[in-house]
Every structure is written in structure tokens, then in C-alpha cells.
Amino acid sequence: PGAPGLNLLLRRDGRTINLGAKTSVPVEAGDVFRLQTPGGGGFGSPGDGGDPEEMAQPPAPRSFAERGSVFEYRQAQEAV
């Protein structure tokens, strides 16, 4: 997983306030809002990715179990 984003309010007096994801705060002239978005290209140093041999392997296939109303309807139609 990547690093989370940050919403920071840098007050004119030097204080830094982490605003979290959802909030409303009064701001004054000289205050700075810093939005640090998470990166989409990976996390950490490229050399910290683990074993290159292991990373070169394709991911294991995942199984899929059909179920639900569409599956039941199709099964009923094919049974005729």
C-alpha cells in the first residue's frame, strides 16, 4: 500500500495543523493550505521492492464462484 495523503494548514504563526479528510476551518491572510496527494506510482525506494525473481512471476490466478440471482436464472434456463 502507498502512503496516505495529507491536508495541512500552515498557520502564519508557524503552527502546522493536520486537517484530516473532512473539516471546515477559518483561515486568515498568510495561512497556507498544503494538499499532499498520495503517489500513484509506488511507495518507497525502487530497491526496496523485495526479491526481483519473485516480483517477475505473474500473479496467481484467482478463482471465481458464480452465485446470485443472475446465476440462478441462467442455471434454470439451461436446465430446460
Task: Give the number of other Cβ atoms within 10 Å of residue 8's Cβ.
Answer: 13
Q: Give 33-56 pLDDT, tens digit per residue.
A: 999 988 666 666 666 666 777 777
In angstroms, what CA-CA distances link 51 with 34, 45, 47, 48, 80?
A: 36, 14, 9, 9, 53
> In terms of pLDDT, which residue wins out, 41 or 16?
16
Cell of 17: 495543523
What total number of domains does the chain contain?
Answer: 1
Give the pTM.
Answer: 0.47
Instruction: Say whether 10 sits in a helix, a strand or coil.
Output: strand
pLDDT value of residue 63: 80
For residue 14, is it within any domain? yes
For residue 2, is it within any domain? yes
* Domain extent for 22: 1-39
> In terms of pLDDT, which residue wins out, 40 or 66?
66
